[in-house]
Amino acid sequence: MHINFLKQLESIVEESDPKPSKIQKREFTVVDPWSDSTMSNLLTKISGGLKKLTGYHKSNKIYSGKVPLTSSHNALKNKDVELGGRKYHIKGSPGTGAFAKLYKASVDGNTEEIVALKVQKPAFPWEFYMYRQLDTRISDIQRPSYGYAHEVHVFADVSVLVCNFLPYGTLLDAINSHLVVGQHMDEVLCIYYTIEMLHMLETLHSVGIIHGDFKPDNMLVCYPSEEITDDTFRSETRSGQNQGLCLIDWGRGIDVNLFPAGTEFLADCGTSGFSCIEMQEERSWTYQVDTFGLCVVAHMMLHGEEMSIAKVPGTGGSYMYQPKLSFKRLCCRELLIFAYKSDAQ
């Protein structure tokens, strides 16, 4: 099975490797996709369609529940939050992101129905819009790899996104669980997850969606319901429960279709260790923000630390970027070096 994994990874990398072509120079627009002005313009642009989306609930009033949604995690624990006629019992907090608070909650007293509540202030319905674009553009077979949002409640002061809850933790948790015992992930598992991520990005980018915050703490681990074999590894009919990873947190997502054709982006993601080369050199980018993030995640699985890169001289005065840490101890060294090489422009 190991050899089969390597062959499959090589085929995916070769398919995604851009081939040289003659491209005529053309004018293009450069935009900061995450600036307040850009987000405000986009939300205005989609406001009419947003209201028609299933699960979208908006009130011009501030949230008036018994317990403020912006209270501390401890203040909300074991409290009930009522939204849209449903009662959510807060069981705890799996974590807090840079832009929102996250809570684990049961629904209407049913301890078997668990969801994640993402509370954000000020209100921010953009992530819900991105989830609905995923519903529309991604096939049913591939859709479970990107998480689900059931509904969003938008108030004048705060928004609450109701999402699926997966109990097995994140890929970052899995990486750290190996490090605490002085180990790294098994190479075969690294390859398996890397292929999953390559499939994710191949699918996303083909429909004009950029995740924008591709890192291991935004990927939930999903345990397969059956043993993985050579035949089922890349099966196009596998169920959602068979996915290895689930990509979540779409607040930094970019819908390329909302911008004029040829638009490129100029901004830094602001996440240490995950700024792509174009960001580091203050050049415009598009899908590189995701593919660079994938390389960093794979590096973290293999080495247990974030990736440092170096410019390496090439032929004819050119140069390329490569990770500073070598792959000499890995049996798939040549394949991984091929996958990580990035020609400088």
Cβ–Cβ under 8 Å, residues 238 and 232: yes
Q: Note whether residue 221 is domain-resident.
A: yes
Does 24 share its domain with 71? no
- pLDDT value, residue 4: 59
Question: What pLDDT sits at residue 267?
Answer: 97
Residues 331, 186, single domain; the answer is yes
Alpha-carbon distances, residue 198 vs 62, 120, 178, 194, 201 (angstroms): 42, 30, 23, 6, 5
Q: Based on C-alpha coordinates, what's the Rg of the chain?
A: 21
Last residue of a domain, one of 164, 187, 218: 164
Q: Are residues 179 and 275 in the same domain?
A: yes
Is the pLDDT score of 23 beyond 50?
A: no
Crossing angle (nearest 10°) for helices 2-16 and 187-206: 30
- State the catalytic residues: 213
**Phi, psi (5° rounding) for residue 317?**
80, 0
- This prediction's pTM: 0.86
- Does 102 map to a domain? yes
Per-residue pLDDT for 324 more than 70? yes
Rounded to whole angstroms, the Cα distance separating 155 from 174 reads: 36
282 lies in the same domain as 133? no
The confidence score (pLDDT) of residue 246 equals: 96
pLDDT at 170: 95
Note the pLDDT tens digit of each residue in 88-127. Answer: 999 988 876 667 899 999 999 999 999 999 999 999 999 9
Q: How far apart are CA 92 and CA 79, in angstroms?
A: 10
pLDDT higher than threshold 60 for residue 329 = no
Domain with residue 200: its CATH number is 1.10.510.10
Comparing 60 with 230, the larger pLDDT belongs to 60
| Domain-located, residue 187 | yes
| Spatial contact of 194 and 233, defined as CB atoms under 8 Å apart | no
Summarised one tens digit per residue, pLDDT across range 236-269 is 444 444 558 999 999 999 999 999 999 999 999 9
Q: CB of 308 within 8 A of CB of 296?
A: no
Domain count, the chain: 2
pLDDT at 296: 95
Instruction: Indicate whether 182 and 328 sit together in one domain.
Output: yes
Looking at residues 49-68, what average pLDDT do you find? 92
Residues 125 and 21 reside in one and the same domain: no
pLDDT of residue 150: 97
State yes or no: pLDDT of 307 exceeds 50: yes
> What's residue 20's pLDDT?
43
Lowest mean pLDDT among 42-51, 105-114, 223-232, 241-250: 223-232
Residues 189 and 299 in one domain: yes
Do 103 and 191 fall into the same domain?
Answer: no
Considering 164, 192, 226, which residue would you say is the last residue of a domain?
A: 164
Q: Are residues 187 and 320 in the same domain?
A: yes
Q: What is the DSSP track for 103-129? A: EEEEETTEEEEEEEEEEESS--THHHH
* 3 state SS of 56: strand
Q: How confident is the model at residue 201 (pLDDT cuts 50, 70, 90)?
A: very high
* Whether 81 contacts 105, CB under 8 Å: yes
pLDDT of residue 134: 98
pLDDT at 326: 74
Instruction: Give the domain range for residue 57.
Output: 50-164
Which residues make Cβ contacts (< 8 Å) with residue 223, sequence separation at least 6?
Answer: 168
User: Average model confidence (pLDDT) for the chain?
Assistant: 85
Closest CA relative to residue 155, chosen from 82, 255, 97: 82
3-state SS, one letter per residue, for 126-188: HHHHHHHHHHHHCCCCCHHHHCCEEEEEECCCCEEEEEECCCCCEHHHHHHHHHCCCCCCCHH
Q: Is residue 328 part of a domain?
A: yes
Cα separation of 249 and 213, whole Å?
Answer: 8
- In this prediction, residue 8 has a pLDDT band, given cuts at 50, 70 and 90, of low
Q: Is 36 within a domain?
A: no
Tell me whether residue 173 is in a domain.
Answer: yes
pLDDT of residue 243: 59
Report how far Cα 312 is from the mean position of its chain's Cα atoms: 29
- Flag whether pLDDT at 233 surpasses 70: no
Q: Above 50 in pLDDT, residue 21?
A: no
DSSP letters, 229-263, are -HHHHT-TT--GGG-SEEE---TT-EEGGGS-TT-
The Cβ of residue 253 has, within 10 Å, a number of other Cβ atoms equal to: 21
Confidence of residue 322 (pLDDT cuts 50, 70, 90): confident
Could you tell me if 223 and 180 lie in one domain?
A: yes
User: Could you tell me if 237 and 333 lie in one domain?
Assistant: yes
- Residue 144, both tokens: 């479970």
How many C-beta atoms lie closer than 10 Å to residue 112's C-beta? 6
* pLDDT surpassing 60 at residue 22: no
Is 42 a domain residue?
Answer: no
Last residue of a domain, one of 128, 147, 164: 164
- Compute the average pLDDT of residues 144-170: 95
Q: Per the domain annotation, does 216 fall within a domain?
A: yes
Tokens 């939204």 correspond to what residue? 83
- Domain co-membership, 127 together with 268: no
Q: What is the pLDDT of residue 74?
A: 77
